[in-house]
Copies of this chain bind each other. A is one copy, B any other.
Amino acid sequence: MVDVLKLGGSLLTDKTTPETIDEARLAEVAEVIAATDDCDLVLIHGGGSFGHPAAERHGMSPTAGTTNVSAVKDVTRAMRRFNDRVVDALQSVGIPAVGTQPFSCCRRTASGQLEVCAEPVKGQSEIGFLPVLHGDAIIDARAGATILSGDELAVELARSLGADRIGFCTGVPGVLDATNEVIPRIDSMEAVETVLTGTEGTDVTGGMAGKVELLLESSMPCAIFGPAELPAYLGGEFPGTRIGD
């Protein structure tokens, strides 16, 4: 079973201090992944306190781009530093993790279509390695280079790999309703629109409404859950909020 797991960037970093890893959380996540039998796992992490400050500094978002190579370097190297730390933590508990750079294998075309070259990642899985990708700056024919969120990459990569499901492990235990209760299942955007409107706008790469929309579009069984539910997810369950069939 090919399982694409996105780990929220804010989950693994201290968002109040630039480029600061939440070491305890990262070690905990690594231990959980080391204990799983989920053999074809593909990991993706967000930008956290590495990518977001760099992207904001240069006014970059999924739609606002730059042709300044120095800005591109700033974002891609910050994300590499983050990815290196994640790969190192995973390798340190015996996971055969290898990093892959989206800037080198993804681009957006003139029509805004995201293209992901998944063959190297497929090859990594086939060898028995655990691929670890991340949000990044990528070439965008419309605007130089724009931001590719880890969320968008997870969904597109899952499609390219013919994945069986997608999990988003976030800082909250699922999609919350107006009374902060986890909504167990979402089958359409209309059903949750009123609830989700208020949570948008704090994250340039999508927020909770964006995640739900992306996952609904994936046509794959998906789950949004918190770190406490990670073992259950890796055990084959759909904890938190289940999205799609």
Contact = CB atoms under 8 A, between A and B. Distances in A.
Interface of A: 67, 69-70, 72-73, 76-77, 80, 84, 87, 91, 96-107, 115, 117, 119-120, 123-124, 126-129, 138-141, 144-145
19 contacts: A67-B129, A69-B98, A69-B129, A70-B91, A72-B129, A73-B87, A73-B91, A77-B84, A98-B103, A101-B101, A103-B104, A103-B120, A104-B104, A104-B105, A106-B120, A117-B119, A120-B138, A127-B145, A129-B139
Copies of this chain, count: 2
Most B CB contacts (10 A, CB to CB) among A77, A119, A144 go to: A119
A115 B119 contact: yes
A146 to B, nearest CB: 11
B67 A128 contact: yes
A19 to B, nearest CB: 17
Contacts of A140: 123
Contact of A100 (B87, B96, B99, B103): B103
Contact of A104 (B67, B120, B141, B144): B120
Contacts of A129: 67, 69, 72, 139
A141 B120 contact: no
A191 B110 CA distance: 48
